[in-house]
Structures are given as C-alpha cells and as structure tokens.
Structure 1
Amino acid sequence: MPVTKTDTSSASLTHASLELLEPGKTPGVPGPKIGEIKFQMNPKELTMSKSASWKVEKQKKASSAPPATYQGPDPQKLSVELFLDDTRGGSGDSVVTRVEKLFQACAPTKDSQRGDTPSPPWVRFSWGVLAGFVGYIKSVSAKYTVFSPTGTPLRAVCTVALEEIAEEAGKQNPTSGGLKPRRLHVVREGDTLAGIAYREYGNAALWRQVAEVNGIDDPIRLAPGRSVFLPSGDELAGPAGRATARAEVARVVR
C-alpha cells in the first residue's frame, strides 16, 4: 500500500491536504477557501509530469516526415493516492462520506453556478516543499478494500489526478493589446491563412490582416514552401503597424 504511517503525536508532523478553493476570476489567482480534504496518512509517493504539444502536418507526397510545429506547453499534472481508513472507528466522517467529498470536487460550486461560467472548485495541494500546486481535479477513482459485516466500506484507496491552472492568460486578440513575436511560417500542404491566424493569434478572423501584410491576393491558394511573415500583435492592430510589417516583409521575405 503506497502510504507512509506516521506518528500523529509528533509536533513536527505535517499532513498533506487538498484545499478546495472557489474558482478565481483571474488566471492563477484562486478565490477563498471553501473546504479541505486532509490525508490520514501522508503519501509514500506521488507522480508529477509535464509535456508539450507538437503538431505535424502530414504530406502525402513527402519522402520524409515534415517538421513539427511547437504548439505550446501542456498543463503540469500531479497524481497522488489517499488512504482512507475507519476500521477502528472514531475518525469523523465515514469512508463513503470522504470519498463523496472528492467526487463532489468534480462538480461546479454553488457560487459559480450563479454566474455565467460554472466551474468545479480549484484545488491546492499542500505538503512541505510541494505546497502551492494549484489546479483542478481531473479524475477521482476509489477502490474499497475492507468492509464491515453489514457491507459498509471501512477502508479505501483513492487515486486523484490533478491538472494545473495556468497563471497567465493565453493568446489574446492582437486588437486588444496582446503581443506575439515576429516570425516566419513556411506554408505546408493544407495550410490556410485562417488556420495559421488561429494557431498564431487565437483568432481566425485575423487572416485578412496577415494577407494584407504579406500581399496575398488569393488566401485560399497558398503555395507550399512559401514563407508567410507573422507580425506582432501591435503591428496587426492598426494601419500604421501593418505598413511597418509590410516593410519588414519586403526586407526579409522577398
């Protein structure tokens, strides 16, 4: 069993816990604490992972694999087990009640249901140097292992999977002030300006500004291998910025 038995009389003992927080209005900034799920026994191990997304546009006529395009980092993940035991009684809520609290953490909070964006509570994993991981519960599974003579669960092992909540907003529409570094995109078979604009700026409607900057008359017919200049957000926001970007295209691309 992946748990570490601890002496609860020790003054230096710190129990792991999952703090339940009201969903925040600002990315990475949670609301007030609305509950807490404490570990009876600290976990012996936990798993943290981090990955990135890459996209490969397959080309039927290509003789080798095309280059991959970096799409951005994926949320950090944390998986941990909770050991729940009530075989001796007197531990407060029953095992079933504590498991139900974990399941309820996957449902929207009452306050968030009153608004336009219902959301389950955010969760802060707290334990020693790992305290401060803020995310949401992606999944919960409970395995009951010991039962009373009447069939009441007395012991369970719960696996909780968490995903981090970003501390900053994602890409913004350049007209609202979001910035994107300049770069060149080499057109691959199947690319469209709307698709490129969506991947780069999060707004497919900006294909017109990208077309204007690059002097593209027919946005539907993009020749594979052509370089498309992708300006910053400020440059797309107004005529003066796009004029600067066109000058850069003349210098770099052509």
Structure 2
Amino acid sequence: MNAPITFSATGGSATSGGLPARLERAYFELREPPAHGSAAPGPPRGRIDFQFNPTELSLSKKARWTKDTQPNSRSSGVPHYKGPEPSTLTLEMFLDATATADDRVVRTVDRLFTCCVPTDKTRSKGSGSPPWVVFRWGGLTGFTAYICSVAAKFTLFTPSGTPIRAVCTVTLEEISGETARQNPTSGGRTAREGHRLVAGDTLASIAQQAYGNPAAWREIAEANGIDNPFRLRPGTTLLLPAPEELTSPQISIMDGG
C-alpha cells in the first residue's frame, strides 16, 4: 500500500523570539558509493545547491503484502506482510538564470543527470553504482538515497537558444533504509545522523551533545576522515556514528534520564 505524504512550505518565515529565522538553502550532499561489502557512505564528492528552496516535498512509503487464495471463499485471504519497499522522496528544483543569461541552468541539469549514472570510480571497478545522495535543508535531513529519476522542463531561452529557466522534478529512492554499516551483533543496519558545523563547534562539544561524553570526538573524527580536529569548516556536515557503533572503551553513553 502506498502512503504518500506531502509537505508544503507556506509564505513567510519562521521566527524565534520575534526575529526572522536565518535562511537555510537546501542542497543535495553527494557521497561516493561505499567500497565493496560496506554499507557506510564513501567520501564526499561535492554538493548540488538549490537556487530556490522547494515549496513541496512528497514522501512515499510502500509495503509488500501477499494473500493466500481461497478457491471456495467469497473473500480474499488474510494478507501477509512481506517487508517494506524503499521510501521515495520527490521534489522540484526551480532554476533561473535570466539575470545573467549564462549556461548555469544547463550545467545544473547536467549535474543532476550525472547522478543517475555510475560514477567513474565505480565504473572502473566494474561495480557501476551512482553517487549516494542525502537531501539536506537546515535541520531537515532525508534518508541516504540515490537519484532514480530527473525530469527537466526548460521554459525560457535566450535568443541564441540557451535555456535560462527550468523546473526539474527529482525523485530519490532510499538505500537500505539506513545510512550506516552492518551492526555485527544484530545483523541489521545502524543509522547515522548528521551535524552541520557552525562557528564555535568543536568535535568535543559535538560529542558531548550527541553522546553525553566529549571523549567520543575521536570516533567522530575517524568516521569523517578528520586528521586535524582544530580545522573545522563551518557549513560542513559531519556524519555522527550511531551509539551502537562506538567501540572505544573509555566512552560511556548517557541516556539523559
């Protein structure tokens, strides 16, 4: 059964204490597909920024069911749950270059199309996987996914025929349901959250906020390939290992109770 949910953004800005909230631009965070046998996203491979934030987000979830046939029955059999289908997220990107009349709209559409084909790195290894993608918008973070379809409609052109306005409908399909590596004790996946760096953040303060213990900063650094914890760039998004993934013996997770 499909269960679509649509989130709409109305006019106006959210406020905090009577002041307008800071504008956050949505973007797609692109990651290299994981190495063979791993479910953890690979290193970053760039991002695609939204020129304008989306006005709607459509989220759909589907489950798989089977029913036993009853030849002499007047009604169908009892349905049996066979498991979930991947979630999908559909949104529109509005692109406009009327002020500059350059090819930035075409370049952005080309980048979106590139997300639907295998990366050069995976193609050279014979695995053929597209980049992994996470939709991020302020505190809103979608599931780890791949872009399964892009439909671009060009609506305005220069006299020379260069498209300078377009609407792109982008659909992302969930990968594995979570964004982390195999949990060796349960056989399942453990989910990772993200933290977007702001001025003043340190790995220790992030570890304190996420796990209740600043000593966990080493695990965050390792998960994100950080060699120098004193060089953190605001605006960068860090992946936070799930509590189940923390292995350092000196770390104790506080439950906040």
Q: What's the Cα RMSD here?
A: 3.1
Instruction: Give the partner amino acid of 1:58.
Output: T
Structure 2 CA distance for aligned equivalents of residues 52 and 45 of structure 1: 23
Q: Could you say which residue in structure 2 is the equivalent of 1:67?
A: 78
Would the aligned equivalents of 1:27 and 1:168 in 2 still touch at CA under 8 Å? Answer: no
Report whether the alignment pairs 1:47 with 2:63: no
Report whether the alignment pairs 1:38 with 2:49: yes
1:11-160 correspondence to structure 2 within 5 Å: 12-25=22-35, 28-89=39-100, 94-160=104-170
Residues 178 and 16 of structure 1, relative CA distance in 2, 3 Å threshold? closer
Q: Show structure 1 runs of 5+ residues with no match.
A: 170-176, 180-254
Instruction: Give the partner amino acid of 1:139.
Output: S
Deviation of 1:118 after TM superposition, in Å, equals 1.1
Deviation of 1:43 after TM superposition, in Å, equals 0.8
Deviation of 1:165 after TM superposition, in Å, equals 0.9
Deviation of 1:11 after TM superposition, in Å, equals 9.1
Structure 1 CA distance for aligned equivalents of residues 11 and 52 of structure 2: 6
Residues 15 and 68 of structure 1, relative CA distance in 2, 3 Å threshold? same
Residues 132 and 78 of structure 1, relative CA distance in 2, 3 Å threshold? closer
Per the alignment, in what secondary structure is the counterpart of residue 42 of structure 1? coil
Structure 1 CA distance for aligned equivalents of residues 106 and 118 of structure 2: 20
Q: Show structure 2 runs of 5+ residues with no match.
A: 1-7, 14-19, 181-185, 189-257
Per the alignment, in what secondary structure is the counterpart of residue 101 of structure 1? helix
Residues 145 and 112 of structure 1, relative CA distance in 2, 3 Å threshold? same
Structure 2 CA distance for aligned equivalents of residues 4 and 90 of structure 1: 29
Q: Could you say which residue in structure 2 is the equivalent of 1:228?
A: none
Count of aligned positions: 168
Per the alignment, in what secondary structure is the counterpart of residue 121 of structure 2? helix
Instruction: Give the partner amino acid of 2:58.
Output: T
Q: TM-score, normalized by length of structure 2? A: 0.58
Name which one, 1 or 2, has greater alpha-carbon Rg: 1
Higher helix share: 1
Q: TM-score, normalized by length of structure 1? A: 0.58
Residues 119 and 125 of structure 1, relative CA distance in 2, 3 Å threshold? same
Q: Percent of aligned positions with the same letter in both sequences?
A: 48
Structure 2 CA distance for aligned equivalents of residues 22 and 178 of structure 1: 24
Deviation of 1:116 after TM superposition, in Å, equals 3.7
